[in-house]
């Protein structure tokens, strides 16, 4: 999975729903996640697993494709990973990761070549962010699970997620420190267009690369919210071009339009251009 491609919209779809899987092949989201966990009832787990494997093997998806497995400490997690061996899946999303040992356990059973995103959705996870990220291996992204986290923290309702702001910032900071993607959590009221737009704007302000989605209607607003402005694109291209010039080789800082720019700004510029829509 190319992490430099746009990762603005990450749509979760129940793997137990054949119509949802078929529709996912035509959607414009950046990443589609076939869900074997929360969206699937216990008595439908085996059927959903088989459907996810068949979908991955059949291919034909426009978006990049991943599978959210069940946690390894459930009756279904190891079976999910075993079934996906050799299927060709390039992304595994692991729920309720709470410590680095979980990453190491997942690494031992991951399909060959697949990347891993860890869902951060419990109090134990948010106080161990650095240790989880430091486990390394196939781990390439941190996803904030806001629903579970808010419930376990016991926070009250807040339209601007006031009680969760420290953890929004912490997830992004940890992802940046370890060179990973940071994906914001879902917004449940998918018919609330204004509320969703406001939360997307907040996520981008905090530095998230993209947002988890639960409905196809959220895709276009997400792309609009995370799209860089024209001025941002012009500046990013100028930074990248300046560092690519022969006289910038080996230099940690250069001057652009009277302003000192460092290598860290080059990384930010590359991330800005990665948010451009490849279909535009």
Residues annotated within a binding site for Mg(2+): 121, 148
Residue ranges of the annotated binding site for substrate are 68, 121
Contact 57, 88 (CB under 8 A): yes
Q: What share of the chain is helix, strand, coil (3-state, %, to 5)?
A: 45, 15, 35
Residue 28's φ and ψ, nearest 5 degrees, are -95, 15
Residue ranges of the annotated binding site are 68, 121, 148
Contact 32, 59 (CB under 8 A): no
Contact 148, 126 (CB under 8 A): no
Which helix (H) or strand (E) segment holds residue 212: the answer is strand 210-213
Q: For residue 16, what are its two tokens?
A: 């137990």
Q: For residue 45, what are its two tokens?
A: 């787990």
* Burial zone of 280 (CB within 10 Å; 0-12 exposed, 13-18 middle, 19+ buried): exposed
As a whole number of Å, the end-to-end CA separation of the chain is 21
Q: Which residues pair with 260 in a beta bridge?
A: 255
Q: What does the DSSP 8-state code read for residue 96? A: S
Residue with tokens 């990248």: 240
How far is the CA of 183 from the CAs of 17, 49, 93, 210, 212, in angstroms?
A: 24, 24, 12, 5, 7
């Amino acid at each position: 999975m190319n992490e430099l491609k746009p990762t603005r919209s990450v749509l979760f779809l129940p793997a137990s729903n054949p119509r949802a899987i078929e529709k996912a092949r035509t959607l414009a989201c950046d990443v589609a996640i076939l869900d074997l966990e929360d969206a699937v009832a216990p008595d439908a787990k085996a059927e959903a697993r088989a459907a996810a494997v068949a979908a991955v093997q059949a291919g034909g998806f426009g978006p990049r494709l991943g599978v959210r497995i069940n946690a390894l400490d459930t009756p279904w997690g190891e079976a999910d990973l075993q079934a996906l061996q050799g299927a060709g899946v390039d992304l595994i999303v692991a729920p309720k990761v709470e410590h680095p040992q979980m990453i190491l356990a997942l690494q031992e059973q991951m399909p060959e070549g697949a990347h891993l995103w860890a869902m951060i959705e419990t109090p134990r996870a948010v106080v161990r962010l650095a240790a989880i990220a430091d486990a390394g291996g196939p781990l390439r992204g941190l996803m904030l699970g806001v629903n579970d986290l808010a419930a376990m923290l016991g926070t009250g309702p807040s339209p601007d997620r006031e009680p969760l702001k420290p953890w929004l910032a912490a997830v992004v900071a940890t992802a940046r420190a370890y060179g990973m993607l940071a994906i914001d959590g879902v917004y449940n009221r998918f018919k609330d267009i204004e509320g969703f737009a406001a939360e997307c704007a907040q996520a981008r302000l905090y530095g998230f690369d993209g947002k988890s989605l639960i409905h196809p209607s959220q895709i276009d607003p997400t792309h609009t919210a995370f799209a860089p402005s024209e001025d941002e694109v012009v500046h990013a291209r100028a930074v990248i071009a300046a560092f690519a010039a022969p006289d910038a080789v080996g230099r940690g800082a250069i001057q652009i339009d009277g302003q000192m720019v460092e290598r860290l700004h080059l990384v930010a510029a590359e991330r800005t251009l990665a948010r451009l829509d490849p279909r535009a």
